[in-house]
Copies of this chain bind each other. A is one copy, B any other.
Amino acid sequence: MIIQAKVKDIRYRLAQNAGSDAIHRNPMYAYTTTLLKDEAGLVGTGLTLTLGKGNDLVQGAAQHFADKLIGKDIFEIMHSFGMIYNTLANDEHLRWLGPHKGVIHLALASVTNACFDLWAKKLGLPLWKLLSTLSPEALVSLLDFSYIEDALSPTEALDMLRKEEPLRSSRLHITNTGYTAYNTSVGWFNYSEKEISENVRRAIDAGFAAFKLKLGSQDEERDIRRAHLVRKVAGDDVKIMLDVNQQWQIEQAIRMGKALSTMNPYWIEEPTHPDDLLGHQRIAAAVSPVKLAIGEHVPNVIAFKNYLQLKCVDFVQVDALRVGGVSEFIITSLLCRKFGIPVVPHVGDMGQLHQHLVLFNHLALGHEPLFLEYIPHLRDRFKHPAHVSGGIYHTPQEPGSSCDLIYP
């Protein structure tokens, strides 16, 4: 039984220029951390990330959700988490502040993720292993199908999961070899061209074969120059992803997408505002064969459904800390699987939680194991930091979702 629900506002200063992008010139990383303690003293930890200011707002909202879980048994909660999730997400007062987006939805992520963490710890299993051994029925009962049944019904989800079930064991070898990482920290927006070149060389030496570069400057020449520089330093065999952080208007995105196609980007990420579905459709059609990655700021599975139905996203970057937590991450991944679109999460959690989820996506949903974003700035703040070497996430073995922080 959950006897205590504490939500903390924890903020970290980053090294100079680390984490900077076209919007965030001076970021912090901050976690709204939900701690659910049961009568045995076990603590489930759930996170959502913010960039500092406003983290207190998410904390306040998460406390509303977390309080509702006090007195409940974690196994009962997880037995029909889809229903509990639906009830929380549609709180008749808080829903007005969304619905299903912004502060309240980030808060819900933190609380949902604490439930999944406590559950896995209670069973003594790493989250990826727990999720990957659940029956199709148990998985479906974790999910809320509201507003997406026209694209994916519970019955259809069950059929998909049943088809994948016999294949799970044949995929288990990935837990021995590990999951490929890509490196985002080589090319932050404020880094000089010299720094970026050195970072890329160092990362290649460390075994990485995929990098991200932050673009979205209003100095278009700067963007083009830096993109070509990274290609030149890295060579033709590595994958280079270009991240615009929503800085382009539609026409500009089309123009820049075409201009950048000559350095062969693996994807262009967040070219414009995440609410502009039809804008993305226009951009996708105009810059093809250049591919688009979208999802860091797409608020919920309903919005993702629209992107998938309109076929204007090539990589879905759903983040379990920004949608309503692990549960909405899973249903979004299922929907992507149905539409044949890979899931490459944005990792606000430094990869701690998502290393579990991408393994699950491969093992139980049959998603292709592409690669997972790696941003190590806070690695020393975690009790069990993701173990990345040779450009590979090594499979976590500790019980839970690897989200426990070391408190100062």
Q: Which residues of A contact B (CB under 8 A)?
A: 23-28, 50-54, 56-58, 60-61, 64, 90-106, 146-147, 149-150, 246, 249-251, 272-279, 282, 297, 299-300, 302-303, 305-306, 309-310
Contact B54 A93 (CB under 8 A): yes
- A256 CB, min distance to chain B CBs, angstroms: 15
Specify which of B64, B273, B278 is in contact with A53 (CB 8 Å cutoff).
Answer: B64
Cα A310 to Cα B54 in complex, Å, equals: 34
Residues of B within 8 A of A250 (CB): 149-150
Cα A154 to Cα B323 in complex, Å, equals: 34
Contact B276 A306 (CB under 8 A): yes
Cα A273 to Cα B305 in complex, Å, equals: 12
Residues of B within 8 A of A25 (CB): 92
> Knowing that A51-B92, A53-B64, A54-B64 are A-B contacts, what are 17 other residue pairs whose CB atoms are under 8 Å apart, sorted by A's residue number?
A24-B92, A51-B93, A53-B91, A54-B104, A56-B60, A57-B97, A97-B103, A101-B102, A103-B103, A146-B249, A149-B250, A150-B249, A150-B251, A275-B300, A275-B306, A276-B302, A278-B305
Cα A63 to Cα B62 in complex, Å, equals: 20
State the oligomeric state as a number of copies. 2
Contact B93 A53 (CB under 8 A): yes
Residues of B within 8 A of A99 (CB): 246, 273-274, 297
A-B contact pairs, 28 of them (CB 8 A): A24-B96, A25-B92, A28-B93, A50-B93, A50-B96, A50-B97, A53-B64, A53-B94, A54-B61, A54-B64, A54-B97, A57-B103, A97-B102, A97-B103, A97-B106, A98-B101, A98-B102, A99-B246, A101-B101, A102-B103, A149-B249, A149-B250, A150-B249, A150-B250, A275-B299, A276-B305, A278-B305, A278-B310
Q: Is the interface of A mostly helix, strand, loop or mixed?
A: loop
Closest Cβ neighbor of A304 among chain B residues: B275
- A67 CB, min distance to chain B CBs, angstroms: 11
4 residue pairs, one from A and one from B, having the closest CB atoms: A102-B102, A53-B93, A103-B103, A150-B250
Closest Cβ neighbor of A93 among chain B residues: B53
Residues of B within 8 A of A147 (CB): 249, 272-273, 275-276, 279
Contact A23 B92 (CB under 8 A): yes
Contact A309 B57 (CB under 8 A): no
